[in-house]
């Protein structure tokens, strides 16, 4: 079990070691101490390994993640799990803005709150935030799910495409082309599956959530909608 102290090992050296891992590596569980808010820790991983970070991280931690499970025992800065392809990123504290931005797969779980633009332009990731999220979350979200156990800020789902949004608390306002939609059985099953995957087996009442999605009026330009673009 490699144990790396970032006060003694350069971040570039750590990331290079992680990038050079072969698919059949037996170094499958890495512990990283003293991250001290450094940026781009464990970015670009491409192996089925587990990385546990003890402390707060800076920008773009676990960005472009593929296959790996990354646990952050602290808070995360801007763009955690940005452009993630697969795997799991679990933030045990709060996440700053743009969490899970542009991510195409995998799951991001935030135990605390997430800032503005959570899930912006998401393309297939599943995001579960146990706290609340900030304004402009899921802006131009194309695919995937965003599940929020707390509240959502202003302009939720602005210019939304086909991502599915589930919010248990209040929504300050909806963005352009985002509307509340009925919760059918298929959506309850989907939500249950995502909560279960996030470790919330049977703890949450599905009936407390509302579903939001695209009204599909901005898919094609129309002069009557010019003010909404």
Q: Please, which residues bridge with residue 110 across strands?
A: 91, 129
Q: What is the pLDDT of residue 191?
A: 97
DSSP for 76-109, please give it: B-TTTTTT--SSEEEESS-B-TTTTTT--SSEEE
Task: For residue 151, give the nearest of 167, 164, 136, 139 by alpha carbon.
Answer: 167
Global pTM value: 0.94
Region 66-82 average pLDDT: 98
Region 69-95 average pLDDT: 98
CATH number of 3-228: 2.160.20.60
Listed by start position, the domains of the chain span 3-228
Q: What is the pLDDT of residue 1?
A: 85
The phi-psi region of residue 183 (left if phi > 0; otherwise alpha if psi is between -120 and 50; otherwise beta) is beta
Cα separation, 151 vs 9, whole angstroms: 40
């Amino acid at each position: 079990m490699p144990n790396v102290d970032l006060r003694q090992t350069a971040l570039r050296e750590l990331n290079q070691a992680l990038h050079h891992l072969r698919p059949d590596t037996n170094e499958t569980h890495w512990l990283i101490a003293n991250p001290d808010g450094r940026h781009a820790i464990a970015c670009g991983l491409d192996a089925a390994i587990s990385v546990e970070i003890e402390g707060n991280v800076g920008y773009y931690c676990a960005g472009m993640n593929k296959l790996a499970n990354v646990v952050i025992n602290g808070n995360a800065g801007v763009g955690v799990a940005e452009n993630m392809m697969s795997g799991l990123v679990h933030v045990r504290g709060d996440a700053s803005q743009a969490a899970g931005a542009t991510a195409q797969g995998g799951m991001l779980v935030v135990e605390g709150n997430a800032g503005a633009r959570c899930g912006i332009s998401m393309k297939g990731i599943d995001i579960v935030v146990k706290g609340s999220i900030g304004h402009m979350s899921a802006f131009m979200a194309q695919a995937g799910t965003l599940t929020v156990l707390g509240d959502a800020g202003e302009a939720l789902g602005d210019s939304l495409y086909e991502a599915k949004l589930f919010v248990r608390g209040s929504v300050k306002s909806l963005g352009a082309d985002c509307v509340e939609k009925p919760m059918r059985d298929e959506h309850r099953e989907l939500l249950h599956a995502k909560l279960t995957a996030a470790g919330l087996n049977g703890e949450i009442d599905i009936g407390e959530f509302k579903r939001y999605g695209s009204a599909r009026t901005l898919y094609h330009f129309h002069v009557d909608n010019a003010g909404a673009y």
